């Protein structure tokens, strides 16, 4: 589970890295949701305050109107009760509708009149402060909030005085705010539903946007591939035409008898070289398709690197010498690796061939060593070197640096891509260190073969 989450997070991060515009989208989505939540909560707060205020004002007005009537009907308790019942019936928020007063014998607050006659005579507890306030200011009503078992109530009190200003009693109403709360809760529910819908819509938009960004990335990659394809066609036609022209030209001259003696030998050598170039081109293209289709066979076995490298150095020393370049070797004894010998040979040939191609003068050095328990092969040259930008693209398919010193050499831009792919399939790695105009080091790392390896 944790791994799944980590993978999803990693993929997400990768997406953000690939297209930073996504960050802006996420920011806008969060800002919209945040503003919506903020506005909704604010609005609900205002609505709740307004609702409570309204309830208070209504009960205040009701008591103001009822107080003179109650004074008028003080001596007719039944009529008064019936009015109280009617008022309670039309105001559904009212739970208790009483008139209270101080009992002379006990000096305690008791219910004198009530919409519910059974409450009359009952003691009134805990409301002393509210009742005292109502008694001290007979022209106003006073309200306090109360919370009982999670239900909010408003208690409102107002004095009833007769014509001479004598206090007859105090109207005491208890209102449940559950109805108002229900309205607010329903508002909250609506707001949450709308928020969820907005969130879903935003998510939908977000995914669509992410997909569009995916398409943009894909489009960019396709364009790159298209450019590479054009370059490949241009390169392949050039790489095919140049040796073919050489072969047919020299063959014609040989047939005509134009070339004699030394020139004839040179002509034959040029034909041979051109045929080799064509062979390399075709093998490279075949290798690419084998690797891409997963058909490249790797048959690893344990072998001694020194023997193979010494043999290859012998061959390439001769070719380097033709260009006036020295090839040095520092090959460590007893370093065996487990790899496909033919593929490993191909890797080394590619590195040596590049070193000879891209070095005008100086030395090529082939070194092997054991480093941190691994086999290390270094092919170093004092050639044209590379810029940082060139180094980054070096192992890409069809990549060739743009300089004239590279373009004058024949090449497909496939060798290093094939090298890297082959090494990775055999458990090895390749890296490069290079300075433009100074030279390059290609470093191949391999795990050492275990003693028991075959
Ligand atoms: P190519 O057929 O062009 O040699 P590679 O894939 O072998 O193709 O190499 C890709 C590019 O890397 C070359 O075109 C060249 O620009 C650069 N390169 C490879 N090896 C060297 C080197 N030893 N020194 C400088 N540049 C190199």
Question: What confidence tens digit (pLDDT) does each residue in 144-182 have?
Answer: 888 888 778 889 999 999 888 889 999 999 988 776 677
* Cα–Cα dist 239/249, whole Å: 16
The two tokens of residue 8 are 């999803």
**165 CB neighbour count, 10 Å cutoff:** 7
C-alpha 340, offset from chain centre: 40
Evaluate: CB of 411 within 6 angstroms of ligand 1.
Answer: yes
DSSP 161: E
The alpha carbon of 413 and the centre of ligand 1 are apart by a number of angstroms equal to 7
* CB of 394 shorter than 6 A to ligand 1: yes
Q: How far is the CA of 222 from the centre of ligand 1 (A)?
A: 24
Residue 288, ligand 1, Cβ within 6 A:
no
Distance CA 117, CA 123 (A): 14
Q: What's the CA-to-centroid distance between 293 and ligand 1, angstroms?
A: 24
435 CA to centre of ligand 1 in angstroms = 14
Ligand 1 centroid from CA 339, angstroms: 24
pLDDT value for 179: 67
The CB of 414 under 6 Å from ligand 1? The reply is: yes
CB atoms within 10 A of CB 263: 13
Q: In the β-sheet with 362-371, what is the strand arrangement from edge to edge?
A: 325-330, 362-371, 374-381, 439-447, 429-435
Q: What is the distance between the alpha carbons of residues 24 and 236, in angstroms, rounded to a whole number? A: 43
- How far is C-alpha 149 from the chain's CA centre? 47
Ligand 1 pocket residue status of 391, Cβ below 6 Å: no
What's the gap in Å between 412 CA and the centre of ligand 1? 9
- Distance CA(400)–CA(56), nearest Å, equals 84
Q: Which residue has the tokens 């306090």?
A: 144
Distance 241 CA to ligand 1 centre (A): 21
What's the CA angle centered on 126, arms 120 and 132, to 5 degrees?
A: 85
Q: Cα 368 to the chain's mean position, in Å?
A: 43
354 CB under 6 A from ligand 1? yes
Instruction: Give dist(CA 327, CA 234) in Å, integer.
Output: 33
Query: Which of 348, 351, 358 to mutate for ligand 1's pocket (most ligand atoms within 8 Å of CB)?
Result: 358
The DSSP line for 246-279 is HHHHHHHHHHHT---HHHHHHHHHHHHHHHHHHH
Q: CA 48, CA 311: separation in Å to the nearest integer?
A: 91
Which among 236, 404, 413, 435 is the best mutation to test ligand 1's pocket, defined by most ligand atoms within 8 Å of the CB?
413
Q: 115: Cβ below 6 Å to ligand 1?
A: no
379 lines ligand 1 (CB under 6 A): no
Nearest CA owner, ligand 1 atom 11? 400
* Residue ranges of the chain whose pLDDT lies below 70: 19, 179-180, 451-454
Q: How many other C-beta atoms can be found within 10 angstroms of the C-beta atom of residue 56?
A: 16
Handedness of CA 21, 22, 27, 30 (dihedral sign): positive
Binding site membership of 368 for ligand 1 (Cβ less than 6 Å)? no
Give CA separation, 176 vs 27, 91, 248, in Å: 44, 11, 107
Note the pLDDT of residue 49: 82
- How close is the Cα of 147 to the center of ligand 1, in Å? 83
- Please indicate whether residue 440, judged by its CB atom, sits closer than 6 Å to ligand 1: yes
Distance in angstroms (rounded) separating the CA atoms of residues 91 and 366: 101
CB atoms < 10 A from the CB of 365, how many? 18
Q: Kindly report, residue by residue over 358-386, the tens digit of the pLDDT.
A: 999 999 999 999 998 899 999 999 999 99
- Mutation pick for ligand 1 pocket among 348, 361, 411, 441 (CB with most ligand atoms within 8 Å): 411
Cβ of residue 352 lying under 6 Å from some atom of ligand 1: no
* CA separation for the pair 170, 131 (Å, rounded): 7
Angle at the Cα of 447 (from 442 to 450), degrees rounded to 5?
Answer: 145
Which token pair is 182?
């229900």
């Amino acid at each position: 589970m944790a791994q799944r989450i980590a993978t999803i997070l990693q993929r997400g991060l990768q997406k953000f890295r690939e297209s930073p515009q996504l960050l802006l989208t996420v920011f806008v989505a969060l800002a919209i949701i945040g503003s919506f939540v903020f506005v909704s909560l604010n609005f609900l707060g205002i609505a709740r305050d307004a609702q409570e205020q309204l309830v208070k004002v209504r009960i205040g007005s009701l008591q103001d109107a009822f107080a003179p009537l109650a004074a008028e009907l003080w001596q007719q308790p039944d009529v008064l009760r019936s009015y109280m019942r009617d008022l309670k019936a039309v105001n559904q928020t009212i739970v208790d509708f009483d008139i209270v007063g101080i009992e002379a014998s006990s000096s305690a607050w008791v219910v004198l009149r009530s919409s519910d006659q059974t409450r009359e005579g009952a003691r009134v507890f805990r409301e002393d402060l509210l009742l005292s306030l109502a008694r001290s200011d007979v022209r106003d009503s006073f309200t306090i909030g109360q919370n009982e078992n999670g239900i909010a109530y408003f208690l409102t009190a107002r004095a009833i005085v007769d014509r001479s200003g004598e206090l007859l009693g105090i109207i005491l109403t208890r209102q449940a705010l559950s109805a108002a709360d229900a309205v607010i809760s329903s508002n909250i529910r609506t707001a949450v539903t709308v928020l969820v819908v907005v969130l879903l819509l935003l998510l939908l938009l977000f995914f669509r946007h992410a997909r569009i960004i995916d398409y943009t990335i894909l489009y960019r990659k396709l364009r790159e591939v298209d450019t590479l394809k054009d370059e490949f066609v241009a390169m392949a036609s050039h790489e095919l035409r140049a040796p073919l022209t050489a072969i047919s030209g020299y063959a014609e001259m040989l047939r005509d008898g134009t070339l004699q003696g030394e020139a004839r030998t040179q002509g034959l050598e040029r034909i041979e070289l051109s045929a080799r170039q064509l062979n390399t081109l075709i093998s490279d293209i075949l290798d690419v398709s084998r690797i891409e289709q997963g058909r490249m066979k790797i048959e690893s076995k344990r072998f001694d690197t020194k023997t193979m490298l010494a043999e290859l150095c012998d061959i390439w020393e001769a070719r380097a010498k033709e260009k006036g370049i020295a090839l040095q070797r520092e090959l460590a004894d007893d370093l065996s690796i487990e790899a496909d010998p033919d593929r490993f040979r191909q890797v080394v040939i590619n590195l040596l061939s590049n070193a000879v191609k891209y070095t005008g003068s100086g030395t090529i050095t082939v070194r092997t060593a054991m480093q941190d328990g691994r086999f290390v092969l270094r092919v170093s040259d004092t050639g044209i070197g590379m810029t940082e930008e060139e180094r980054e693209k070096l192992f890409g398919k069809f990549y060739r640096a743009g300089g004239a010193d590279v373009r004058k050499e024949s090449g497909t831009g496939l060798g290093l891509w094939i090298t890297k792919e082959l090494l990775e399939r055999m458990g090895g790695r390749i890296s490069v260190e290079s300075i433009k105009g100074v030279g390059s080091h290609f470093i191949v790392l391999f795990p050492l073969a275990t003693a028991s390896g075959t």
